[in-house]
Chains A and B, each alone.
Chain A
């Protein structure tokens, strides 16, 4: 299988190359501060700032939801999400946004939420 060894070697080299180039797709979560500095597209994880008001009016623009998020450095910043307000948003425990800083607000077009599991164990539904 000599020729296959050669090909296997080529593939190993290719895979090393791909892994190196793939590592460029990988990053850590940014913070609002680092997003201001970099001005590029980043992911930020944090939680909803419940003290600040949320704005959502589908009659004006259904794809624009404004809220404030606290990042891992405990910094709160305005977020403009270019998507409808997700279901059960208030109950989210963690939010991951993808977007970039623009004029002091973080403009995001993707959101992932981690919600508490559907039912808390201690809650047992009673028959009505």
Chain B
């Protein structure tokens, strides 16, 4: 069989991409090796040589990563569908601004993103931490080697089974799938892409993954420093350079998680910012461990205690980042999570990834354990470091609790290896389960993070009386605030929630006080208090916006079996144009508009008092996004009104089935019964529920979908309906359009009357008779001249060689002349533009019809010698036969939508709290980055002097 020579493929992309993968993988191993040698030979001259080689390897490795990223992104932006990864993630109609989102929608793309951050961040180690460059970057590049192996795409046969090592994103579609399509050499011109999931067509999808992956990538640096410390045995030396890395990492990873929460709240239909979903938990746990590590790290630097635990926290942070990768990418979560990556079949490789670094860390840790310095003397129970250490243990404890519950599907999977009949366990009510335990941890953290800041490191403490006065004041102020808040929010008569509110406020007051009375404008001291204040505010925000959220949409209908569950019914049905009262508001679906593939619903809210006075009025625009081919609605997006003290969140939950998908619409249309009626203009048709009159014909249809430019000829039946029961009237237009030989129908409906109308198939022939029924007469005239045809005066105004009629499709070699005529009958003038065409030596004409006068005009010949122009005119009787119209009545309404409207009080407290937590971390980081430069400057000055 001959090999097919395929057309339209861009093979170079695959070649360059695949080369980058192989070279990138090899250079990562090479660089790891040279940096390893450099570390092992530290202190000798060889070390610098190895280091130089390492840097060169790093550069080449970095270039490979960027090249791979670049070529794949380029192939996506050019829609090279011959590549499987491109075909799977973009489509013709994908706007260019979502190209990056499409890039990291797939696992391969996000792995590349991850590596890119390692490469970029690693370069800062060259600049800033010269002494630690070799051991730290050995670890970082080793991580990249493992990630690169996920992209190798090797098939290894061991015995009977074929193991897959990585999935190569640069493979051609025809190498991945076997389809008859590939027998066609020009298959690339036939296929299009699957495109980006409309739920992800959102700017958050563009900015959230880079931030989150920068967070994930940055956790590798505290980890690498810790490993470097264990490896070189310099257990104290790494603490200083690693400080800014761990603060940066905690700030960035936290911001990444926070952005995910904002995305969920602002742009997804979840109606909340945190749902204890396994994917959310999996990214939260490493952050908790990292924050625990940051605290013991400070303890270690200030007092020399807790170096061992700092090692352990940083190792665990990174291992849990890898574990979260395993959870989200291996498919193990199954039905317990609403969002996870599509499976790639790399589960075993991901397990290896986790275990490799877990063992590397733990084995080194155990091996070095004895040599890690740890003061013999017991630490002072009244010291800051003691309580910071306890706080870190609490955070770790919180993390372990969360991850154990989240890992239930993993335990189930392991259990089925030993016992095939094992029945998997699930958590019955995950949100309640997590809240129940984390509430007490939050209370504990609030107390620790406010009392401990008044303490000092070491054994020299201030007098207890000085500290206690601050704490007592904070406790009293918090109690007063807790009471005052009851005028706004409720604690639902639960002492647990009252306690959480109280201690959240206590943390806020104490840290606020600390910043203003204790720090003496020392920003470095203040940064931790800013974070702690933020934590307290976050707890308060959870109580106000979480516990106190309420529904404006409250379904007033209650049915038998649902009696117990009234509270669960949280949505209302809106009928277009009809106001509905719910919980002190009138809610009206005013209108909806389709823009691109999104339908925006204009929902009006009127807040009213008991006397029906309108207190406040606003509009919200939740929307529905259609699938790229418009076959169905694939996502609903919320809209939120932001007020300073509360948010009003609305989201459409559902539409009536025919509005949801083409399939259901067709199903419904098929069940409709249309009756055909024949009526002259002005006659009354007695329908089932309506009296119907065809009022007149409109030759310039105003039907919303009718576009005059598309049609050669259009006519609309202006039809009025009188509903006998409701005694209401409504007039609508149903139209017909003629494009060349094709007839298009434009049906119309009155939802509130349950009416559907469309023109009958025979209507076109009634209004626009077929050619053979006409008798034409010939006339000749000159330019500017006129003639009379059966009482119609026709004037040839001018000629044009650029015909504008849509029924004329120009072809190469055509000679086409359009006559622009002024046709006058009974004192009224109409324009007409018949066309004369010579195509391949054959003359032909495209006629013009003026429905108002019943005149058909053809431009039939041109005499170039005499400069005369021949026309054929047929005059038709303008009295029309009874018109045929099809009407369906008693149709179920389809203009319904199901709306959820929710109030989040004090949501801004929550957001400000979380943002302040991250700001405190990033402030501390920035201060260290700058002070480090100061150190350098001081050192340089010393050397100079």
Interface residues of A (CB under 8 A from B): 1-4, 7-8, 11, 15, 18-19, 22, 25-29, 41-43, 45, 56, 58-59, 61-64, 80, 82, 84-85, 87, 94, 96, 98, 102-103, 105, 107, 109, 112-114, 117-119, 121-122, 124-127
Contacts and interface: CB of A to CB of B under 8 A. Distances in A.
B192 A125 contact: yes
Given A1-B378, A4-B379, A96 B335 contact: yes
A85 B654 contact: yes
6 contacts: A7-B390, A15-B397, A22-B401, A62-B555, A63-B570, A117-B343
Contact of B559 (A64, A105, A119): A64
Cβ-closest 5 pairs across A and B: A84-B654, A25-B433, A114-B335, A62-B898, A28-B423
B838 interface: no
Interface stretch (B424-432, B481-489, B732-740): B424-432
Given A45-B335, A82-B568, A84-B653, 4 more contacts: A4-B390, A15-B400, A58-B654, A126-B190
Contact of B425 (A3, A7, A27): A27
A19 B433 contact: no
B569 A118 contact: no
Interface string B562-578: 10010011111100000
Given A28-B423, A84-B654, A122-B177, A18 B401 contact: yes
Contacts of B427: 25-26
A4 B386 contact: yes
A3 B381 contact: yes
Contacts of A112: 335-336, 338
B681 interface: no
The CB with the most chain B CB atoms within 10 A, among A27, A121, A125, is that of A125
A11 B562 contact: no
Interface size class of B (residues with CB under 8 A): 35 or more
Nearest to A109: B568
Contacts of A80: 561-562
Contacts of A2: 378
B752 to A, nearest CB: 13
A78 to B, nearest CB: 11
Contacts of A43: 426, 428
B473 interface: no
A118 B342 contact: yes
Interface in B592-640: 629, 633-634
A109 B555 contact: no
B351 interface: no
Contacts of A7: 390, 393
Contacts of A29: 423-424, 426
B342 A117 contact: yes
Given A22-B437, A26-B428, A61-B557, A118 B191 contact: no
Main secondary structure of the interface of B (DSSP, over half): mixed
A125 B91 contact: yes
Interface in B194-210: 194, 197
B386 A105 contact: no
A126 B342 contact: no
B656 interface: yes
A104 to B, nearest CB: 10
Contacts of B657: 56
A82 B569 contact: yes
B428 A109 contact: no
Interface string B422-459: 01111111001100010000000000000000000000
B404 interface: yes
Nearest to A102: B561
Contacts of A127: 92, 189-192
B405 interface: yes
A58 B429 contact: no
B514 to A, nearest CB: 24
Contact of B656 (A22, A58, A61, A125): A58
Contacts of A41: 428
Contacts of B892: 59
Contacts of A56: 657
Given A82-B562, A127-B192, A8 B393 contact: yes
A7 B197 CA distance: 50
A3 B387 CA distance: 11
A103 B87 CA distance: 51
A87 B663 CA distance: 13
B408 interface: yes
B11 to A, nearest CB: 20
B865 interface: no
B660 interface: yes
A59 B559 contact: no
Nearest to A119: B194
B404 to A, nearest CB: 7
B569 A63 contact: yes
Contacts of B426: 26-29, 43, 96
B335 A26 contact: no
Contacts of B179: 122, 124
A18 to B, nearest CB: 6
Contacts of B565: 82, 107, 109
B181 interface: yes
Contacts of A19: 404
A95 B662 CA distance: 25
Contacts of A85: 654
A124 B191 contact: yes
Nearest to B179: A124
A61 B429 CA distance: 26
Contacts of A3: 378-379, 381, 386
B425 A26 contact: yes
Contacts of A28: 423-426
Nearest to B567: A109
B80 interface: no
A22 B308 CA distance: 30
A126 B335 contact: no
Contacts of A118: 194, 197, 342
Nearest to B430: A25
A2 B294 CA distance: 22
B502 to A, nearest CB: 21
A10 to B, nearest CB: 10
B71 interface: no
A62 B433 contact: no
A20 B378 CA distance: 33
Given A28-B423, A43-B428, A114-B335, A58 B573 contact: yes
Nearest to A103: B561
B193 A125 contact: yes
Contacts of B381: 3
Nearest to A99: B565
B334 interface: yes
Interface string B878-899: 0000000000000011001010
B87 A124 contact: yes
A116 to B, nearest CB: 11
A107 B390 CA distance: 46
Contacts of A102: 561
Contacts of B335: 45, 94, 96, 112-114
Interface string B816-840: 0000000000000000000000000
Contacts of B568: 63, 82, 109
